[in-house]
Structure 1
Amino acid sequence: MLMRIIPLAATALAISFSAAAPLHASGDSINFGLSYIGHQIVPNKTRFNGTTVGGLSSLDYNPATGRYLTISDDRSKTGPARFYELSLDLSQFQSSAVPGMAGVIFHTVTTIQQVDGGAFEKHSVDPEGMRFDSARNKIYWCDEGQRSVSGFRSPAVREMNSDGSHSREFSVPSYYAPRGSNIGILPGDNGIYNNLAFESLAISVDGATLYTATENGLVQDSPPATILTGSRSRILSFDIASGKSGAEYIYYIEPVAFVTATLGGFATNGLSDFIVIGDRQFITVERSFALDAVIPGGASTGFTIRLYYADARDATDVSGMESLARQSIRPVRKTLLVDLSQVKNKDGSALALGNIEGITLGPRFNGKNTIVLVADDNFNKHQLTQFIALEINSD
């Protein structure tokens, strides 16, 4: 489902749309714009308390402390599975090609523990999304799972205490579990694709519902996104009180934004994170990557990051439907908010984008609300640990 692209100015990302539940307001419409404040980049292989800072795959702001939580998707490889608490001073963010990391301060690192205690063993977990529930003083996080020659592991959504100890596990429907071949394209294969499962978490405005989503469709629902076709991701809800799964909605992932420089090169697009802004209404992040792609008007990192407004209020509830093949489904409605690959810094340089995998509503800045993004560098010296700040200009 191709959505309209909204033209962008050099440093102002102006958008306007209507919906029934406004962003942190009351009334019958949402009208706001997003302006680029700046970004900061943490140098590759930065060390903190005996760990390598990298793989940052989520971001959640806690207004009570003025600090953020971010999870590392290190699969207990360079260090134990973990999350960090940090501060971001948005006044020090730079709109330039070489921003530095002023105002980015890491305060603590906490090891995520297994059910019976102790750190996860190497390659036994893939932490991705994380949210802090201030009302319950709990942290929710998801394990993407695995489908590969190294073995199968079902995706999971878990709750932990602030010290990283396990609290409980949410009930994920059985049809998300990988079954069949390790490549996921043979008849009878079901469940998640490898590295395309639970990447995100979001909490409803009333605090009663937790959401996660697959990065692409389940094997039985649709193939992964390509340059020609998108994919049918599932948004899955949970009742936080009981831990039971609830309604599910189909969210169409766009095709890969640009072709790779070489035939057969790696390319992907997926739903990497989202936040709730109203009743079953979200701002989603679609992260597209094409190996060595040159993006017209943008920096050549290969990443294209697009933020969408997504409305699931009229979408079909597909909970309990193991397969969506040949089913008539009303998907989540989408409107493109901004294509960050078209943004330029004040010095005229294109904003070099990292692998954006986290989004949060941030603090007030210059009297306005903000959105803050984080990029996962995959522990790769050619990628970025990056924070990007956007200002919300409300009517």
Structure 2
Amino acid sequence: MAARVWCAVLTCALAAIIPGVPAQAEEETATATPAVRLEQRIPLDPTRFDAQFGGISGLAYDRWARRWLMISDDRSGHGPARFYRVRISQDRRQRLKIGKGKRVILTDRAGLPFPAPGTGREAVDPEAIRVMPDGTGLLWTSEGDVVDGFGPAVLRIDRQGREQGRIILPANLRLDPGQSSGIRDNATFEGLDITSDGALWIAMEGPLIEDGLPAAPGRTAPVRFSRLMDGAPARQYAYRLDAVPVRGQGAVADNGVSEILALDDRHMLVMERSGATDAAGRFQFHNRLYLADFGAAPDVAQMASLSAGTVAAAQKTLILDFDSLPGAPFGNLEGMDWLGGMQPDGSRRLLIVNDNGFEADRPTELLVVTIAAGLLP
């Protein structure tokens, strides 16, 4: 949709404005199926960013600045809440070369960096980042700060990280201090994108409290995708998460949406990321990429609960089980965006990043995945 229409969306939706190894380390090429290929696997050198680099949970290309954006989910524990800008170029064989990253600190309305939880001021848990369609700014999500009584948020910022405003959210996506309904702590806004009709889509990582129990071994779970559009009531659609695919040997096993990426106004790619603890208590991750079609899914915004299990959900088709690729596992995949436009053969390329959880033996990596023509709408 034209930039001026998105500007109108923001006018109505925003609340009042109240930075070792070589950068392009060893690659790996593998074939998963004739339709989906892993072209490159690139560990990132943290020294080309800063001492606190890690926890990358969102990825977006800023075509106006010709830079890639990587947002960290650090709750101001290792460093201030932040994202990074980095130039990624391609050689004639389309292999990536990673430039030097620049850190941008996220600041609130008063121009102050967000604190760690427990201070009484709003702390943030950044998860997703996208560029405004007209290029005037950025959007990013926070999963909220339950400790200090703040719910999840979608914030608009300039390229210097300064808060400019916030998206008005549906009431059921806000924090209930009593935790009897609404969002669950650390299971909220992981997915964010803008569809071709100018609508802003927000995907919950896990179900609302009133929508039932989270996904578990042998149990699926419904999550809400919210569509916000100028001049229209917010719509919500059900998306059913898989049951946890691998139980693990520890006490914790879950599955949730970690990112979305729009293809058009009804189709989007959905990354489902499952984490299960092993005998040592460390999370091992399993990722699946789905094509979701919301065209025939009903609006469930007025439904008080999705727990009945009979609610029609978006159709979903498995595009890639990352466990099937040579070199698996690939860690906690949380960010993705298109890498360039459609290729001459009609295929599309994805750039995907993992969240290493600030674990020294788990590097942040970029994956280049090619999806063949005909597999996507």
- TM-score, length of structure 2 as denominator length: 0.82
Q: Measure the CA separation in 2 of the matches of 1:192 and 1:235.
A: 13
Q: Whole-Å Cα distance in 2 between the matches of residues 301 and 90 of structure 1?
A: 33
How well do the aligned residues superpose, as a CA RMSD in angstroms?
A: 2.8
2:241 aligned to which of 250, 253, 258: 253
Q: What is the CA–CA distance in structure 2 between the aligned matches of 1:197 and 1:228, rounded to whole Å? A: 22
1:68 Cα deviation after fit: 1.0
User: Any residues of structure 2 matched to 1:75-224 within 5 Å, and which?
Assistant: 75-89=75-89, 103-123=97-117, 124-147=123-146, 150-179=147-176, 181=178, 189-206=180-197, 208-224=198-214
CA deviation vs aligned residue, 1:171-215 (integer Å, no higher than 9, x gap): 11222223255xx5xxxx111111111111111123x11111110
CA distance in structure 2 between the partners assigned to 1:267 and 1:316 by the alignment: 30
Provide the residue aligned with 1:394 in structure 2: 373
Conserved? CA contact 2:106–2:114, under 8 Å: yes
Is 1:362 the equivalent of 2:339?
A: yes
What is the letter of the counterpart of residue 379 of structure 1?
F
- Once the two structures are superposed, residues 122-171 of structure 1 have per-residue CA deviations (whole angstroms, 9 ceiling, x without a partner) of 13111111101141422011111144xx3432111111111111111111
Query: How many percent of aligned residue pairs carry the same amino acid?
Result: 27
SS at 2:323 equivalent: helix
Task: Give CA-to-partner distance per residue, 1:265-312, whole Å, 9 cap, x none.
Answer: 22111100010102221011001111128xxxxxx9721111000001
Residues 268, 292 of structure 2: 8 Å contact kept = yes
Deviations 1:42-74 (A, max 9, x none): 25xx24565511111111123445421111111
Residues 1:279 and 2:265 aligned together: yes
Residue type at the aligned position of 1:11? A
Q: Which residue in 2 is equivalent to 1:38?
A: 40
Contact 2:56 2:364 in 1 (8 A): yes
Q: Which amino acid aligns with 2:186?
A: N
Higher relative contact order (CA 8 A, sep 6+): 1
Unaligned runs of 5+ in 1: 1-9, 16-32, 96-101, 294-299, 345-349
Structure 1: how far apart are the matches of 2:370 and 2:307? Answer: 41
Aligned residues: 338
Q: Indicate how the Cα distance of structure 1 residues 340 and 317 shifts in structure 2: closer, same or farther if over 3 A, else same.
A: same
Equivalent-residue separation in structure 2 for 1:49 and 1:130 (angstroms): 18
Q: Is the 8 A contact 1:238 1:246 kept in 2?
A: yes
Unmatched 5+ stretches in structure 2: 1-28, 118-122
Question: Normalising to structure 1: TM-score of the pair?
Answer: 0.78
Deviations 1:66-124 (A, max 9, x none): 421111111111111111111334559999xxxxxx82223322111102222111131
Give the superposition deviation at 1:325.
3.6
Preserved CA contact (<8 Å) 2:227 2:234: yes
